[in-house]
Structure formats: structure tokens, C-alpha cells
Structure 1
Amino acid sequence: MFSGLWSWGGNRYGQLGDGTRVDRDLPIPIFPLSGATAICTEYNWGCALKADGTVWTWGQNMFSQLGDGTQNDRHMPAPIAGFGDVRLIATDSSTGYAVKSDGTVWTWGSNPVVPHVGVGPDIYNYRPRRIDGLSKVRAISVQSDVLFALRSDGSVWAWGNERTWGPGYNGLFTVEGVADDAAGVGASVPG
């Protein structure tokens, strides 16, 4: 019996990861995702982290959210080539994020904040790019184009745009007064 990940539902873009675009009413296994330690799913795509530190993506790729250098949909999970040593993943709509074991934060896909802090003014990040200014990160949480990062010193950093935070907050900044309560933010990276 398969003990990995299972999926069901709509499959217009191959987001179920079964190699087809056939909707499924009953759960089916997602191959080759045995050994996954984390999974994030969005409306039309998925992202998984395997125990070996590789990140696997599948489904819609209109905004390059699969991180494979294309905008071609993919109906089966595949690793993001040349990208490993990852300890934590998060997704938001059409953007992927990862924290590597060295505490650096990386992003790929849609670029809701122009210019993206540390990654340039491109509309899409076709492959994972490091976010300059974020290091020693042990946890992240993302929602509605806003990324929160908890650093090992207890400080919380936010990355968003003026639509979210108001004038003067377009980019990376520290969030004052929440470091003491930050232990529960997102998922943590061991170490």
C-alpha cells in the first residue's frame, strides 16, 4: 500500500499530481512523493518538501510558481533542479518560499511586491532567488502577499507592500513589539 501523499478534486491544471488532468472524486496517490515531510497547496498547484531537502512542485505554472524556469503546467511532481538543502517551505497564491538550512530565505513565482526585496524588479522569478536582507531565519508564515520571518535572535521581519502596510512600507522591515510573542509564528526550522 502507498503511504505517501494522496489527492482528489478538480484537476484542470494537473494540480492533483497524478499525471493527468482528470478530476477525481476519490483520493489517489501522488507519485513520486513518498518521503515528503511538508506540503503546501494552493488553488491550482502544489509544493512539497522531501526529507532529502529537495523541493517538488506540480500543477499550474502561469506565474512560474513551479520554479522550473518555464511557464508550462506540469501534471506530475518534479524537483526544482539545482535547489536543495531546504528545511521549510511556504506558498501563497502563485509564489513559493523556502528556508534553507543556513537560514536564508528564497522565493520563486509571481512577484507581488515590485521591486521584490533583494531579487529585482522582475514580474516573475522563474527560478528560486535568495531574498537579500533575510538571514538566520527559523520560521516563516505567508498570507496575502505578506511574508513574516522569525529570526534566530527573536526579531520578526515582514515583507510586503504599501497596499498591505500603507505608505512608506514597500519592502523588508522589522515588526516592532512582537518578538516576545513570535514563538508561534509559522513552522519552525530545527536548530
Structure 2
Amino acid sequence: MNVLAPQDARPQPGQAHQALAHWLAYRVRTFDQRALGALNPRTSRGQIRKTQAYCEAVRHAETDADRPAFGLTASLFALYHAALPWRDGVRLYGSGDLGQALRRVGTGAFQGPKDPGCQRLFERLVAPGPLHRKEVLLQHAVTRLRTQDRFPPSWAQLAADLSGWAARGEPVQDAWAASFWTPAHRTPTRTNGDA
């Protein structure tokens, strides 16, 4: 019997998610600081301001239900690139999911699950609850990645994950937990004598 791993049950990035990631990367590549600054569209009361950059980011969503996830992803991208917009590919597009990214947070032997602050943050992130209640935690996670000079998650994967946050069975939270708590699977290196 072929059973899907938790990572396979969550939504995978589609064309809309990739288009958002490319659009966001282009803002950094062209030094569009005005658009990056406008991607954090919250007022002091927590309401969303419909800035031009925000509207351009959420227009990539295929459904109205995905628009908040696309807006949040764009806001987190702008937060990560706020102080110093990196232009290399890994920082522009990210790598892995948020669980893998948070596994890189910390110093020395105390990274990811071994870093008590990171562990608490992660446990609060994957605890049951609606996406709008996780926004501040996601901002803290991205800020920690930025301040510790760690690679961000794949922005396309993050948009897909946030779009599927409320899915039955919590496949996104399960996939993030698997990425955070378990070491990366390493393929054995071949030598010339191996078949």
C-alpha cells in the first residue's frame, strides 16, 4: 500500500504561487523600495490598506479565498527584505518550507528544535487556530530568519501553505512539523566503487 507522507498531502506551489514569487523577486531586483514598503498594508488598528503594491500582489491569487494568504506572503517577503534587500536567488525565492527554515534558526549546537525560543515559536505556529491569529507569529519567524542571516522559506511554497492552512487534517502544519522536528534526509554519497 502506498501511503502519502505528510509533505505530499499539502498543496504544492502552482503557477499562481510561482507568479507571486517572481513578482516579489522583481521588486527587489529593480530596487522598487516604494512597492516593498507598501506591502505591509496594515493600519494601526489592524485593518488592511489597499495599496497598489498589495493589490498587485493579491491579484496573483486564483480564488478570492487565497487572497489573504497571498497578501500575507507578500507582507512577510517585504519584512524579510526590509533592511537589506538581498539579490541572490536563494534569498529572493527561498528554500524549503517554514519548518525547514526555522530549523536553521539559532547558534552553534542550539539550532531549530534545540533552540528553546525557536521551539516555543514553532509550537505556537503549528498549534490549531485560524491563519489570521498566526500573522504575528509568522512575522516573528521571518524576523528571526532575517536577523540571524538565515535563508527564508520558499515564498511560493509559503503562499501555497498559507492558502491551504485551513485544510481538513492540517496537512500544512503536519508537513512543517515533519520538516522542523526531523533532520533533513540525506542521500548517501556514492563513490566510484558503488553500483
Quick check: TM above 0.5?
Answer: no
- Determine which structure has the larger strand proportion and give its number: 1
- Determine which structure has the larger helix proportion and give its number: 2
Given the two structures, how large is their TM-score scaled by the length of structure 1?
Answer: 0.30
Given the two structures, how large is their TM-score scaled by the length of structure 2?
Answer: 0.29
Greater RCO (Cα-Cα under 8 Å, separation 6 or more): 2
